[in-house]
Amino acid sequence: MDIRLNATPKGNGFQATITFSSGVSISSAEAFPSEAEAVLAAAEKLLQMPDRVQRLADEEREPGPG
């Protein structure tokens, strides 16, 4: 499983985004003052949802239809 943490410009700051290899992405509603703070916020959020990460990892390992 590949997980990417990004920061993109939003207003006067940066928006945090977590993107999973499955294509699922989660973006912050708020903007952070710096790219580093946005990436840190994304990392902290990722650590708060181990069950979701595990489910996505399990789904990636499951064979697809036919």
Residue type, 66: G
**Residue 1 pLDDT:** 81
Domain count along the chain: 1
Express each pLDDT in 30-61 by its tens digit. 999 999 999 999 999 999 999 988 988 888 88
For residue 44, being part of any structural domain is answered with yes
What is the model's pTM? Answer: 0.80
Range of the domain at 33: 3-61
**Residue 24 pLDDT:** 86
**Residue 48 pLDDT:** 94
Residue 10, pLDDT above cutoff 90 = yes
| Residue 26 to residue 22: CA distance in whole angstroms | 12
| Residue 15 to residue 6: CA distance in whole angstroms | 8
For residue 39, being part of any structural domain is answered with yes
CA dihedral 49, 59, 18, 40 (to 10 degrees): 40
For residue 66, being part of any structural domain is answered with no
For residue 37, being part of any structural domain is answered with yes
